[in-house]
Structure 1
Amino acid sequence: MNRRDFILTTAALGGAGSAGTWMAAAQAQATNAAGKPVILVLGDSLSAEYGLKRGEGWVPLLEKRLAQQKIAATVVNASISGDTSSGGRARFPALLAQHKPSHVVVELGANDALRGLPLSDTESNLLQITKAAQAAGAKVLIVGIQVPPNYGGDYTRRFEAVFSKVASATKSALVPFLLKGVADAPDALSLFQADRIHPTAVAQPQLLDNVWPELRKLLPK
């Protein structure tokens, strides 16, 4: 499957999501108080382990990599399947107050495109999330996504540019395309679930590899 086959559908990106438990919240607050990084991932189904077993997603794999590299940090996955940039913006203040993150990974926007929301709204929401995180002292990593060609050349270019514009305007780190090496892989069909939207467990290490280099630069040496 090439990227043309990567078609977003409402049913696939919707549904119930997952967020950090109260136990994770308590751990995050204790860790942050101790001066260790607290990494908050604010995302949608691509980060919420949609269709995967618990622990198979790229965010849990991030926790394992941090441990393997002996980087003391707490990861809070506040991703919810079906979430939009507007939804993320609405719930972010409470998450910020609860977890007090030192780092925020923002992976939102795919559902905005799916629902035909104005790109200006997506950009504004991502800007507000990023500025709020920075005002609280957190470093931010923007994780971009791309839409398939059937959305039209002009729209796909403008949508992709939203993430780089937000990163540039706020001097944040940027991962241009979360699904690089998956959606455009020669064997892409085998790397997606039956919905052809959500990557399988086999593909999750690649998603982490896409995020890790930029995130690592933001963490203590």
Structure 2
Amino acid sequence: MLYDQPLLACHECDTLVNRVALKSGQKLVCPRCNATLQKAGKDTTAKGLALSLTALILMPPAYLLPILTFNMLGSNTVDTVAKGVGHLFEEGFWFMGLLVLLCSMVAPVAQAGLILLISLLVRMQRYNGLLINLLKAQRKIKKWGMLEVYLLGILVAYVKLIEDGEVYFGVGLFCFCSVLLATTLNAVLFDASVIWERIGQQRQRVAA
């Protein structure tokens, strides 16, 4: 069974692909760039809205509150994510500092913010050019979020520091782990292909 408009333009490379009716679990993939064009799935914007809002609320304490406190000979050293990035700049490691800033702070915040805006526009049924641009930006920025790598660095630092003194986990670490969980679930559950399908259907109705 074909749709009234048999051709679908890929949102990544503009290749024209025949539309087909999909069964549960099936998806239509662009033969040129392998982008997902259609997918038989459910609306995931409600989950995207909840997870993005959760991540954005937890990000300030995750970045600003202590993640580790190191005690040696009665002297305490408190580390936060923001302070760790600042130390890299102070030591002259500008490229590394910018990379850590991008992957651990800027990209995750942008990713959560974009999914939040996308979900709100879909809930309001605003299938316009702004929504298309947000979807494209979200697809590009999600590759840069690497919170799990930063968490691995925290664990390595804990193992090394515990040999020289006492190390305590701070509230910021638990917030950081919660942000990582929320963003990971968002990346797995949020399905943009369903939104692209709705945009295509909306354009067909307008053209008709």
Scaled by the length of structure 1, what TM-score is found?
0.27
Larger Rg: 2
Which gives a bigger RCO, structure 1 or 2 (Cα 8 Å, sep 6+)? Answer: 2
Scaled by the length of structure 2, what TM-score is found?
0.29
